[in-house]
Structure 1
Amino acid sequence: MSDITSLVRTGDIETVLNQRQWRWHPEFIKVLLDDPSLEAEVAAGIKAEIMQILERRGYVYTTENDGFWVGFGAAVESRMADDTILALTGMDAGLNRSPDIGKGTLMIALFSPHKKQAQWRVQLQGYTYEDQNQADRKTRLATLITQMLSPIPNISN
């Protein structure tokens, strides 16, 4: 099975990454799935992947108000349609619908502290492949998040 995705980025990443510390955005972490009982688990998985990538690149997590903020949203198409995503985010990754395969969207945003508008955003759409086992889904998610965050430089040197 080929992994078809569509990705779009916008904003100025340099305005956010002038600090080594980061924290989770207090309001912008949301996951919408067909099975709501899995949303917390998926959110935790996304958080773990983002945290691991940022840590490997030299950024330090803090619970203080220092540093930039990271937020994300993920939704399957049945819970949030493309036109709603476009209206909320101003972004459209543009992956075509498939009558046989579900589609999902993941957006990661970086904020300067206390600013309502994200300074940098990346949005990826991909097909959901319901028949994938849990281990394959986790590996795929890690690969996609790594791809999404590839513009974030390594500062650990």
Structure 2
Amino acid sequence: MIKKQLCLWMSLFIVLLAGCTTYETVNSPAPSRMTMVTTGDLGFIPPAAKTFGWHPTMFSVHTANKLNDEELVRHMRQSITKIMQQKGYAYVSESPSILVGFGMALESEMSDKEIMEKAGLVAGLSTNGVDDEYEKGSVLVALFTPLRQDPIWRVLAQGFTDTGKKIDDREQRFDILTTRMLHAVPNHSM
């Protein structure tokens, strides 16, 4: 009798234990996977800040000619400008309240370790289970005040891009990405 009860309890325990096993599966396509990390304090943006401009040196692209770098910079500036204007900030070329800098890199040109060394952040997006047709890309946006050399706030996003495919909807994709990245920047009513 005791042997039967012990066997029954052991069988139940094994069934319960097997039911607790978890597996990570990725069902979404690689391009929709994205990870973001932020650091800094947006409270350093002066309450009277109404304008923004481009950081004089922080805009870089590392793609090894896989994509048109100048075109990427143009798209990124255009998208950031659109999002900042929606938040109530005006672009000015002289004496801005906020300076915006950015960088973009493909994993083949800049590893997570190099990004960590240069930007002080790493989003840690895993490439496990991703087809070779996609490459991990990283985008950094940093906000500065004119009086500080170091950024007051940074956001780093990582996702996947198909470098071999022509991107007809690039402008829309940049807008979606920068909207997510700059979501935390406070709105300013003009």
- The Cα RMSD (Å) is 1.8
Cα offsets for 1:27-51 (capped at 9, x unmatched) = 0011111316710110000000000
Distance, in Å, in 1 between the alignment partners of 2:34 and 2:66 is 24
- 1:61 Cα deviation (Å)? 1.1
**Amino acid aligned to 1:51:** T
SS in 2 for 1:134: coil
Q: Which runs of 5+ in 2 are unaligned?
A: 1-28
SS in 1 for 2:169: helix
Q: Conserved in 1, the CA contact under 8 Å of 2:101 and 2:141?
A: yes
For 2:43, the equivalent position in structure 1 comes to 14
- 1:74 Cα deviation (Å)? 0.4
Distance, in Å, in 1 between the alignment partners of 2:170 and 2:40 is 29
Are 1:106 and 2:136 an aligned pair? no
Q: Which runs of 5+ in 1 are unaligned?
A: none
For 2:103, the equivalent position in structure 1 comes to 73
For 1:88, the equivalent position in structure 2 comes to 118
**Amino acid aligned to 1:81:** S
Cα offsets for 1:70-125 (capped at 9, x unmatched) = 00000111111110000111101010124622110000000011422100000000
- 1:153 Cα deviation (Å)? 2.2
Say which structure is richer in strand: 1
- Give the 3 Å change call, closer, same or farther, for CA 135–50 of structure 1 in structure 2: same
For 2:73, the equivalent position in structure 1 comes to 43
Q: Percent of pairs identical after alignment?
A: 33
For 2:153, the equivalent position in structure 1 comes to 120
* More displaced 10-residue stretch of structure 1: 98-107 or 64-73: 98-107
Distance, in Å, in 2 between the alignment partners of 1:37 and 1:3 is 20
Cα offsets for 1:2-45 (capped at 9, x unmatched) = 50000001100120253111110000011111316710110000
Q: Which has the higher contact order (CA 8 A, sep 6+)?
A: 1
Distance, in Å, in 1 between the alignment partners of 2:143 and 2:157 is 15
SS in 2 for 1:85: helix
